[in-house]
Amino acid sequence: MPHTASNATLKNTVNVFTSSLLTSTGTFPKPVIGESVVQVGNHAYLFGGRDAEDGIPVNDLYFVDLETGSWKLVENQGSLKPTPRYFHSGVYWNENLVFFGGIGLDEENNSLCGLSSTEIFNLETKTWRVVPSETNESENMEDAEASTCQPLPRYGHLYCVLGDYMIVYCGQDLSNNYIEQINAFDLKREKWVHSSPFAYHCGVYRSNCTSLHCESEFFRYCSPEGKGSIKDTTERQDQFVGSLLFYLNSNFVDVKRELILLKLYKVSDTEGNREETDEHKGYHSSLYFEEVNVTEKFVGTSMPPGLRFPRVYMVGNNLILSGIYLTSSRQAFVLWVYSLDRENWIQLDTLGLLNHGSWFKCLCMPQSNQLVIFGNQTRRLIQDYNVRQSNYDNVVYIELEAYGVYRKPKIPHYSERSEKLGKLLLSGVSDMEILTVERNHIPCLSKILYKRWPKFQKLLDQTAESNQDAFRMSLSELGPQVAELPFTPINSTGSRMLYMPFNFETCTAFLYYLYCGKINEAYLSTKTLCNLLILAKHDEGMETFFQYIVHLLHNTLNRNNDFSFEH
């Protein structure tokens, strides 16, 4: 685990315990401009960029372990080498890294050129391949259609993977004109299959996007029942492919913010014979987009400032926004969160590490509730920002769960009727007792504990097995004929009492969970929840219970000692 950074300027806030600083190890990239960083689980790959010293585009590929900050240069990439490029896009799909667009070098004219090519690196074979560009002269009808979907050369564009499609939209050409176009690349067939207008002037400098799972609370929050909802999709026989949330901020003096939900559909008619309407203008093949402006849903009492090179991520019921904040008095890398539970924007209190140095690239590890931010702790942010330089000398880890930002556990839902039945059993028949530290006795039913508490099940099985061994030993003393006779296994004849080293309230709360599948509101004190956390910490088979208690503790701390956020 990373060690807590020592910094005399750190304030006495929660970030002292949740911000960690490491020095990168191994062969890490030199300062670079416009590189792409593609996350694959707890690892990432960095490709391309422009060398910050000599300004030449490069095609190096690096690998980093996000948990340790250890880097290495990926070698032996086969005979085919990728095109050097910068301000391109990179995504991960099915053991492939897919790179598109950007700015390259025209070797014949020794000048910069916009790229519209797609190159793929296979992680298993460690080799590159180039997706051929389609031309209008293609004789094959499918190829001819693909040529009409071929995206324009661009750089600084936005991108996302939805299902088996890479979505690319907006960006700029070499004349810095915005490209009002959205395209879809079929990752299975490796063909461009959709192109349509997209009337927004945006790029990575002031916007970003993230995919939304159709079963997430955020998707339901942005998609009320009606047109474009999952229910509506089912009724009209169209297949819902996926959705992305698009964040745009502009006019940094008087900040304008927009959040757009884009939903991708595939029509049931595989021939794609749909009349082109205003709603589906530019429709190709069998795909189309629907756009829902959800800006008003994200208006709060406090709002994030204008951020350069923003990034958005989803962690549970939280939308995380990161980016560079620049004013005459402050230059810093900042983090904001929109919480569905609070329905408001809140700035994470990360004063200290991110207020000093130059930080640019940020990745999110939702499984561990962490942000990983790369940079250099001694350089000046404004100096690197002016030339768009990224550094990878240091890495900062932000533990999001300490701020109440985490993925809620999937707790089995029991009906009200089930809870009533559990309460009835809890106050009814019993065949054993729990002994607490106060020497109180709590009656309970061993069969319930056996079915729902793996540790008790293991204990009972071991006791029964020990009893059978002792019984066999006593039979062997009566002679071999008796010892070989079949007999019915017997249960323990020992004590009907189980001692638990916890107080009465903790034991009662635990029994209530085993019987009813939840913790009674009467036992939601911090002390009881902490005791339950200790009880479940190393209890194999009770991982869901442990996560449930952690979630309840978060709610309790937020109510009683809400220090997690800086308002």
Quick: pLDDT tens for 66-78: 999 999 999 877 8
Bridge partners, residue 169, by sequence: 158, 182
pLDDT score, position 7 = 34
273 C-beta neighbours (distance < 10 Å), count = 8
Q: Contact at 8 Å (CB) between 484 and 476?
A: no
When the pLDDT of each residue in the chain is averaged and rounded to a whole number, the result is: 85
Class at the top of the CATH hierarchy for domain 416-566: alpha beta
464: pLDDT confidence band, cut at 50, 70 and 90? Answer: low
Q: How far apart are CA 357 and CA 379, in angstroms?
A: 5
φ/ψ of 308, rounded to 5, equals: -85, 145
What are the structure tokens assigned to 45, written together? 């790959």
pLDDT score, position 313 = 96
Q: How far apart are CA 211 and CA 245, in angstroms?
A: 6
Cα angle at 506 between 367 and 415, to 5 degrees? Answer: 65
CATH fold group of domain 18-319: Neuraminidase (2.120.10)
- Domain coordinates in residue numbering, the chain: 1-17+320-408, 18-319, 416-566
In the predicted model, what is the mean pLDDT of residues 37-50? Answer: 97
In the predicted model, what is the mean pLDDT of residues 75-95? Answer: 93
The more confidently predicted of residues 426 and 477 is 426
Cα angle at 490 between 488 and 493, to 5 degrees? Answer: 160
pLDDT score, position 145 = 60
What are the structure tokens assigned to 332, written together? 């810093």
The more confidently predicted of residues 59 and 537 is 59
φ/ψ of 45, rounded to 5, equals: -120, 135
Q: Contact at 8 Å (CB) between 336 and 321?
A: yes
Instruction: Check pLDDT > 50 for residue 276.
Output: no
Lowest-confidence region among 15-19, 165-169, 188-192, 544-548: 15-19
φ/ψ of 272, rounded to 5, equals: 70, 25
pLDDT score, position 495 = 64
12 C-beta neighbours (distance < 10 Å), count = 6
- Alpha helices (H) in 124-229, listed in sequence order: 141-149, 217-222
